[in-house]
Amino acid sequence: MGRRPRRVTSKDVARLAGVSRTTVSLVLNDVPHARIAPETRRRVLEAARQLGYRPNAAARSLVRQQAMTLGLILCHPPAHVYTDPFLPQVLLGITGALQKTEYRLLLETVAEPSLREDYLDLAREKRIDGFILSGPRVDDVALRELHKEGIPIVLLGHLPDVAIPSVDVDNVRAAYTAVTHLIRLGHRRIGMITNGPLHYTASQERLNGYRQGLAKYNIPFEPDLVVEGHFTAESGEEAMRRLLTVRPRPTAVFVASDTVALGALVTLRQAGIRVPEDMALVGFDDIPLAAYVDPPLTTVRLPAYELGREAARLLLTLVAGESPPSSRTVLSTALVVRASCGALQALHNPQSKGGETGSNT
Amino acid sequence: MGRRPRRVTSKDVARLAGVSRTTVSLVLNDVPHARIAPETRRRVLEAARQLGYRPNAAARSLVRQQAMTLGLILCHPPAHVYTDPFLPQVLLGITGALQKTEYRLLLETVAEPSLREDYLDLAREKRIDGFILSGPRVDDVALRELHKEGIPIVLLGHLPDVAIPSVDVDNVRAAYTAVTHLIRLGHRRIGMITNGPLHYTASQERLNGYRQGLAKYNIPFEPDLVVEGHFTAESGEEAMRRLLTVRPRPTAVFVASDTVALGALVTLRQAGIRVPEDMALVGFDDIPLAAYVDPPLTTVRLPAYELGREAARLLLTLVAGESPPSSRTVLSTALVVRASCGALQALHNPQSKGGETGSNT
DNA sequence: CTGAAAGCGCTTACAG
DNA sequence: CTGAAAGCGCTTACAG
């Protein structure tokens, strides 16, 4: 490590350009109503360039009362984040939307117990001007508090009966589509493995979609046919084992997470149950690898990149003080039909991997 | 959006506690040599609590000349980040290490062309006190410049002939282990699919490990048997197709990325080539799903969480002005033997599917 | 068209 | 043991 070079401040630039710091600031910030002589402007720009001057972010934040930083708060249990093949895309969507702006992204992961403290402080210290909260929980009181205080917040996912702007997919509808797809393929006895515990809004909603799908076709709901997953492939393995003990055995299973579905697939393989011949499977998420497992997974595509991008855009309008066009953005999902549901087989096209897609919106 | 409540500053706390702002600062920061009367301290603490006071981060940064923020710069092409099942774990490792500290994490993704500008500015604006750079590239000049200026930097990965502290695995050795494992199983004709283009240090090194493995056993290196992957499963599909045209055909392939290997697996399936009976496969990374594909992937485990954690720890000592115990941390990898390499079959593992267990020689 | 001055909210010598 | 004052590096009315 070398020694830090002397800091260069606006004072240095002013001196070199032979103007005041005011003028330096005016020029560098391109202040609208400031009329600066072209020659002066040139001199300032040149001096700044020559000195490699960059305005100090802290000083600027202090005077502007803006951190120029947005937060991304990840409220998932470690087990989830760990296997989340989804996060990178969301991240890319967010940073993509921020790219042309002066805003930067602060990342915070929140362990369960300390929910409150952490991002409350982040906002109160004015380290961030607003934030995206991924994986909001119903029991999160700090969140409602912050929202009341006027901190710009966007939920990735959503919360019932809270007016916080959100970006999400219609989980109910998506699950409904997945299940009715199986029903139309002739299945009447369809199991479900949830993606996570039911206090996660998304888990609950996907379960609702499953029930609505059954109801639509007058298939009675059987609690025994629903097993809870816990985000991991491992939990899918176990859930499927449980499901296989139910009699009569289901002929199809809707697994509300591809990662969990991969675990289920392993159990099926070990039990010598062929997919889709003996058991049809539909997943959820369309993780990048869903097309590459055997058999390729029929699943519901979640627009991860777009979710991140839209959340960031929404937050950007919020911190700009504008009111957003809509405070609840719902992006559409699409059923991606591959081999695991058996639909392709019915079409005598066992090789296909891309599959047909049908939008559900 | 409600209206922002009046900011509470140290002045408010001082007034309520009946002391000066100096005393407030002294108490709240627990300044070592300040002797504050217990009763005064209590009053200050109580006032701060009552008002929900949190020191303004910008003001604090300005006076301390520390942003209390560390950067994580992701220098991967979008295609890589997109499918990186690895990033969440690294992230968790980093935020875990930062949890007990006052440092926060700023995330920056860098698209190829604009390499220079972006994080140069971040550092020059003093928005970050130092950073972790993931995926350093040999042609990155900005990086060397910043390092010369004394900005604390830790490389996730490493660069030849640069004295920047780094955290990495020994890619050469890991690849060597993977390849010699195949050789010991009897293979003599072993192909390789790289994880990415060879200007990535890691890709180059894994290729070197492959060559060293062959050399050790006096197996001549054949350029035709090496095909470049590009981080994605799709690229693995294509690479394997190319490899299958080589005559005589390899009996085993080392794929330096699990994600890429999954693509290779698809090609093999489509060609009716059984793994491991007709073709043995060893991957790299041990992505969370490696154990859940068919056949389960033998691979090299990369300690993703630990890499993130160690990088953060190293950076923390650097920004604290201390010199680190070692400026090059090398974490160890481990060969994880599953079914795809055929080793389990040789042991008469009951799990293995039917078919001959013929020797691979 | 440009500059002097105040102020953002802290911390930290320096007095007392 | 505690307070008045300076200063971190900017921006922004306000004069001129």
Position B4 scores a pLDDT of: 47
More confident of the two residues B1 and B84: B84
The whole-number Å distance from B26's CA to C12's C1' is: 10
A267 & A238 share domain = yes
Tokens 């300005």: give the residue: B62
A37 & A76 share domain = no
Q: Look at residue B359 and tell me if it is in a domain.
A: no
A343 & A196 share domain = yes
Total domains present in chain B: 3
* Range with the poorest average pLDDT among A45-54, A90-99, B106-115, B350-359: B350-359
pLDDT < 70: residue spans in chain A: 1-6, 78-79, 81-84, 112-117, 346-361
Position B83 scores a pLDDT of: 63
Position B349 scores a pLDDT of: 46
Q: Look at residue A253 and tell me if it is in a domain.
A: yes
**B326: containing domain:** 69-169+305-332
Cβ atoms within 10 Å of A170's Cβ, excluding its own: 17
- Tens of pLDDT along A152-171? 999 998 888 788 999 999 99
Position A144 scores a pLDDT of: 86
CA separation, residue A223 to residues A191, A199, A204, B169 (Å): 9, 17, 14, 48
For strand D, the positions having any atom within 7 A of a protein Cβ are 1-5, 7-13
Position B161 scores a pLDDT of: 77
A17 has a chain B CB within 8 A of its CB: no
A27 & A74 share domain = no
Tokens 């393995």: give the residue: A237
List Cβ neighbours of A347 (8 Å cut-off, separation of 6 or more). none
| Nearest residue in chain B measured CA to CA from A297 | B293
B176 & B293 share domain = yes
Spatial separation of the C-alpha atoms in residues B237 and B85, rounded to whole Å = 18
Task: Kindly report the CATH number assigned to the domain that includes residue A38.
Answer: 1.10.260.40
B281 & B178 share domain = yes
A49 has a chain B CB within 8 A of its CB: no
Residue A150 has its nearest CB partner, among B3, B58, B289, at B3
B162 & B309 share domain = yes
Strand pairing report for A190-193 and A166-169: unpaired
Which amino acid is it at B62?
A: L
Position A35 scores a pLDDT of: 77
B236 & B288 share domain = yes
State the nearest Cα–Cα gap between A24 and chain B, in angstroms.
16
B319 & B296 share domain = no
A299 & A309 share domain = no
Spatial separation of the C-alpha atoms in residues A300 and A81, rounded to whole Å = 20
A342 & A221 share domain = yes
Q: What are phi and psi of A114, to 5 degrees?
A: -90, 15
Position B356 scores a pLDDT of: 36
State the nearest Cα–Cα gap between B67 and chain A, in angstroms.
7
Q: Are B93 and B86 in contact (CB under 8 A)?
A: no
More confident of the two residues A112 and B199: B199
| pLDDT higher than 80, residue B34 | no
Q: Look at residue B358 and tell me if it is in a domain.
A: no
Is the CA virtual torsion A193, A82, B95, B200 positive or negative? negative
State the nearest Cα–Cα gap between A241 and chain B, in angstroms.
15
| pLDDT higher than 50, residue B336 | yes
CB of A59 within 7 Å of some strand C atom? yes
| Nearest residue in chain B measured CA to CA from A350 | B270
A279 & A220 share domain = yes
Task: Kindly report the CATH number assigned to the domain that includes residue B327.
Answer: 3.40.50.2300
Q: Look at residue A2 and tell me if it is in a domain.
A: no
